[in-house]
């Protein structure tokens, strides 16, 4: 009898030990699986990194076990979710350069709208994980009596306690960073690969809230705005006195033209780096056009269109907002001053047009709050909508702009803000043949070749747009700029830049965020393009070109540019043209802090 009892006790201990081992192993297995799908191998991760990510997975697994009482079923569910998560991050990083970030869940509709043009090829890693998952599922079904055992009440309480411990450790302490798990706002994909995507994702949650600037006060922000306005008035008075002009600036006649601002999707100029040999020119007309031309710096690469239009329209910079955040969805929640609201106050009718989905980036909610009178999307077009590689092309887009100009009310001054979509990724449409290739490696970079062909289409369409407006008697000013560079083959980008990303200097790294812009008009206005600028300053520069007072904030931005002519999330340039990282500490920190103070005041308190 005693022997039988001892044997039963041993079996119970072995069974309990097996259960504990299984419960501990599931989060680690999920971590290794998702990293494997993303490109990592198990032996590349330290035990501390694996533990930190397992704690993140445990926040889901252990409460699920407590809820169902079935560790194996819950474990299989978590492994499937980990596989989906790993694959999703792989695809998103391939398409746009960055993996899935917390704020991406506010733009699922936008992602769904463009997903049809991407190719979701199954990798060998995915095939292997899928096969193993199926085998495990079959094993569970065959051995269901043992595999589907249930936890008793004390077991459920224990795993719930484990879940609470995981949540506390991850969110209420800095234990993750001590374990070597953290986010990297400058290289999100690298952090997901090297430090674990579960831990890096959780680490990014802290960036959802905008931090109050150091030494911030509303009074200090108001003082900075008043000082900038006073300085601007003083400079204007000095200029008029020097010119001997007795007429006050406010009474000086300035031609106010129709304004067309085109933010062209993924428009970049890889030829300007001088490292590519192509079978034909990408752009021919635009470089030859008599216009002010230059390059501006953006805060995003490969994706994040709405961030660029937010910067252009508002004068605010993404540098002071959480990495990867989406201002239209997170911060433009009530009427906000913008280029549109300023022009509206000056008698303009403000129209926004994007030939994509109405709700993409929640533009349908943000544009009215920014001062636009009307927003048209693809389904509202009054002209025939032709496509290139699955998106409405720039020729159709520009035809709609002409339609709006021709059908305006008599005497109406228009501000047309247009976001194109033709050159949106991905660049893998088999029915859209590339007409440009690298002479030394033809066919080696199909995505880049398709992209370059699309840019040539833009050049040709833009010529037709200019040919139309140069014949118009009413004054028109057109500004076109890119929102970001495209996400194509990294090897092509290395070749175009003339340096691999890992070897880049800060100035070369900023080249990844460099896009062209041009300002043209049909009424003889002389415009000199700034040597260095960024999108948050470009919109204010357009207002200056047409002689419209943008108010105190415009004055502040104009003063700021004298010391820092370009500032983005990725870095900035000083007045000597030297590139700097935000990680540096130097004498410009105080000036940047003033900009942050004023922007925070205007966005969240004014």
| DSSP assignment of 266-297 | T---GGGGS---BSS-S-SHHHHSSSEEEEEE
For residue 299, give the H/E element and its range.
Answer: none
Q: Is the pLDDT of residue 103 over 80?
A: no
For residue 441, pLDDT over 70 is answered with: yes
DSSP 438: B
What pLDDT does 257 receive?
Answer: 96
Handedness of CA 203, 208, 209, 210 (dihedral sign): positive
Which has the minimum average pLDDT: 131-135, 142-146, 534-538? 142-146
Confidence (pLDDT) at 69: 83
In this predicted structure, the answer to whether residue 86 has a pLDDT above a threshold of 60 is yes
Task: Return the bridge partners of 479, or none.
Answer: 261, 519
Share above pLDDT 70 across residues of the chain, in percent, rounded to a whole number: 87
On whether the CB atoms of residues 522 and 555 are closer than 8 A, the answer is: no
Q: For the residues 78-104, what does the mean pLDDT come to? A: 80
pLDDT at res. 150: 75
Bridge pairing between strands 387-388 and 391-392: antiparallel
Based on its alpha-carbon atoms, the radius of gyration of the chain, rounded to whole angstroms, reads 28
Q: What is the pLDDT of residue 147?
A: 54
State the average pLDDT over residues 117-131. 75
User: How far, in Å, CA of 69 to CA of 495, rounded?
Assistant: 55
Cβ pair 563, 594 in contact under 8 A: no
pLDDT digits (tens, 9 = 90+) for 148-157: 567 778 888 8
Give how far Cα 57 sits from Cα of 32, 70, 79, 99, 394, Å: 11, 17, 10, 18, 45
Q: What is the pLDDT of residues 477-516, one digit of tens each?
A: 999 999 999 989 999 999 999 999 889 999 999 999 999 9
Local confidence band at 358 (pLDDT 50, 70, 90 cut-offs): confident
- What is the torsion angle, in degrees rounded to the nearest 10, for the CA atoms of residue 574, residue 579, residue 583 and residue 588? -10
How many whole angstroms separate alpha carbon 374 and alpha carbon 367?
A: 8
Instruction: Determine how β-strand 476-482 pairs with β-strand 514-521.
Output: antiparallel
Q: Are 322 and 207 in contact (CB under 8 A)?
A: yes
pLDDT of residue 145: 54
pLDDT tens by residue, 36-82: 888 888 888 888 888 889 899 989 888 998 888 888 888 888 888 98
* Distance (Å) of CA 179 to CA 6, 25, 78, 366: 42, 18, 23, 40
Mean pLDDT of the chain, nearest integer: 85
pLDDT tops 50 at residue 252: no
CA distance 103 to 300: 15
pLDDT at 2: 46
Q: Which residue has the higher pLDDT, 234 or 222?
A: 222
């Amino acid at each position: 009898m005693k022997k039988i009892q001892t044997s039963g006790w041993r079996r119970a201990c072995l069974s309990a030990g097996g259960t504990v081992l299984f419960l501990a192993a599931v989060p680690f297995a999920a971590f290794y699986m998702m990293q494997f799908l993303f490109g990592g191998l198990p032996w590349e991760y330290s035990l501390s990194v694996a533990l930190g990510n397992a704690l993140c997975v445990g926040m889901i697994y252990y409460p699920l076990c407590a809820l169902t009482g079935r560790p194996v079923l819950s474990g299989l569910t978590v492994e499937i979710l980990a596989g989906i998560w790993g694959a999703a991050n792989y695809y998103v990083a391939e398409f746009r350069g960055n993996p899935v970030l917390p704020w991406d869940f506010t733009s699922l509709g936008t992602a769904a709208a463009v997903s049809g043009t991407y190719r979701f090829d199954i990798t060998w890693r995915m095939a292997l994980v899928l096969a193993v998952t199926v085998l495990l599922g079959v094993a569970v079904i065959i051995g269901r009596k043992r595999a589907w055992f249930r936890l008793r009440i004390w077991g459920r309480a224990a795993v719930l306690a484990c879940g609470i411990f995981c949540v506390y450790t991850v969110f209420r302490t800095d234990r993750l960073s001590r374990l070597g798990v953290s986010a990297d706002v400058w290289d999100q994909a690298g952090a997901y690969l090297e430090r674990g995507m579960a831990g890096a994702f959780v680490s990014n949650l802290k960036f959802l809230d905008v931090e109050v600037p150091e030494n911030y006060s509303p009074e200090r922000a108001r003082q900075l705005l008043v000082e900038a306005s006073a300085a601007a008035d003083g400079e204007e008075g000095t200029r008029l006195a020097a010119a001997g002009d007795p007429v006050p600036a406010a009474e000086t006649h300035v031609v106010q033209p129709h304004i067309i601002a085109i933010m062209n999707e993924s428009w970049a100029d890889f030829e300007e780096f001088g490292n590519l040999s192509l079978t034909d020119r990408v752009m021919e007309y635009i470089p030859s056009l008599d216009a002010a031309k230059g390059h501006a710096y953006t805060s995003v690469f490969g994706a994040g269109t709405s961030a660029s239009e937010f910067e252009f329209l508002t004068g605010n910079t993404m540098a002071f907002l959480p990495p990867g955040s989406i201002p239209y969805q997170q911060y433009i929640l009530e009427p906000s001053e913008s280029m549109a609201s300023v022009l509206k106050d000056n008698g303009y009718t403000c129209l926004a047009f994007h030939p994509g989905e109405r709700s993409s980036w929640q533009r349908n909610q943000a544009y009215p709050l920014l001062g636009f009178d009307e927003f048209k999307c693809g389904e509202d077009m009054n002209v025939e909508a032709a496509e290139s590689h699955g998106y409405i092309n720039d020729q159709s887009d520009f035809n709609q702009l002409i339609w709006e100009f021709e059908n305006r009310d008599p005497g109406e001054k228009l501000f047309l803000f247009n976001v194109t979509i033709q050159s949106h990724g991905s660049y893998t449409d088999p029915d859209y043949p590339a007409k440009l290739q690298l002479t030394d490696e033809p066919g080696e970079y199909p995505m880049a070749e398709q992209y370059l062909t699309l840019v040539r289409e833009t050049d040709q369409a833009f010529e037709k747009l200019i040919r139309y407006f140069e014949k118009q008697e009413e004054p028109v000013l057109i500004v076109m700029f890119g929102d970001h560079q495209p996400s194509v083959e990294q090897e092509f980008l290395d070749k175009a830049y003339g340096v691999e990303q890992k070897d880049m200097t800060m100035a070369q790294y900023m080249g990844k965020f460099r896009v062209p812009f041009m300002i043209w008009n049909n009424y003889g206005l002389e415009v000199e393009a700034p040597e260095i600028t960024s999108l948050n300053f470009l919109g204010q520069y357009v207002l200056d070109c047409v002689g419209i007072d943008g108010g105190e904030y415009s004055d502040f931005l104009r003063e700021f540019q004298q010391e820092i002519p370009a500032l983005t999330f990725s870095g900035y340039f000083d007045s000597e043209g030297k590139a700097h990282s935000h990680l540096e500490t130097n004498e410009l920190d105080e000036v940047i802090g003033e900009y942050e103070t004023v922007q925070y005041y205007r966005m969240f308190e004014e």
